Amino acid sequence: MASQVEDVLYEACEVVFECNEELARRVMLRDEEIDVAEVEVEAEVVRILALYQPVGVDLRLLCTILKVNSDLERVADCAVNIAERARHDEVQKLARGLPELKRLCPLVRQSLRGAIEAYTNSDAEQAYAIGEQEAVIDALHGQIVRSVVENADRTPESMRALLDVLSIAKNLERIADHATNIAEDVIFLSTGEIVRHQFRS
């Protein structure tokens, strides 16, 4: 499921800069597969909880799986939102003219990749590094918002495309938030320490 989510995010980011209707539709179709996987994972965790009533580290692991499962599904939803917005006219032209957005896409993908690796390896140190990246991503998002607002006055005829770019940037920022959530859950899994909201400004 994590691999599928990484793939749809990559494909959604591709559509932002290069118009590709087929790829955009593929992102939307793959989201349905991820929704099914999310339900299956949750059902299995609930079954294990009911049958074995785990405690200690085992219970911590199952709680972490439930939360990571939910965050991954929401990342896929954000990727769908990005692909839908990127299908509209003029978005690619505007996106290619925003260096901050060109930086934001790979940074967000890197953040998600790192969070998944940290979860796979139960690596608290790597998880802390993911949380520290969030400030950079938030700053880039803020720069994109300011740039779009400035362009709105100069090119009112492009207002719809500008709003689409704003939505794309916001969904990328949300994906980074979900990656941070996963990182926080990894720290909880590895150490037992609850650090929820610690990385938030």
Is the pLDDT reported for residue 158 higher than 90? no
Is the pLDDT reported for residue 196 higher than 80? no
SS3 108: helix
What's the one-letter identity of residue 136? V
User: How large is the average pLDDT for residues 67-80?
Assistant: 98
Provide the pLDDT for residue 201. 46
Count of alpha carbons within 13 angstroms of residue 53, beta-carbon side: 0
Query: Token digits for 90?
Result: 């003029």
Provide the pLDDT for residue 78. 98
Provide the pLDDT for residue 131. 80
CATH code at 2-191: 1.20.58.220
Yes or no: say if 82 and 15 are a contact pair by the CB < 8 Å rule.
Answer: yes
User: How large is the average pLDDT for residues 98-108?
Assistant: 97
Ranges 11-20, 85-94, 150-159, most confident: 11-20
User: How large is the average pLDDT for residues 83-93?
Assistant: 92
Cα distances from 97 to residues 70, 108, 148, 162, in angstroms, run: 34, 19, 11, 12
Q: Where does the pLDDT of residue 150 fall: very low under 50, low under 70, confident under 90, or very high at 90 and above?
A: confident
Q: What is the pLDDT of residues 123-140, one digit of tens each?
A: 999 999 998 888 999 999
Give me the sign of the Cα torsion angle 161, 163, 167, 173.
positive
Yes or no: say if 60 and 54 are a contact pair by the CB < 8 Å rule.
Answer: no
Q: Where does the pLDDT of residue 200 fall: very low under 50, low under 70, confident under 90, or very high at 90 and above?
A: low
Yes or no: say if 185 and 119 are a contact pair by the CB < 8 Å rule.
Answer: yes
User: What's the pTM?
Assistant: 0.94
Concatenated DSSP letters of 13-25: HHHHHS--HHHHH
> CA 26 to CA 16: how far, in whole Å?
14
Mean pLDDT of the chain: 94
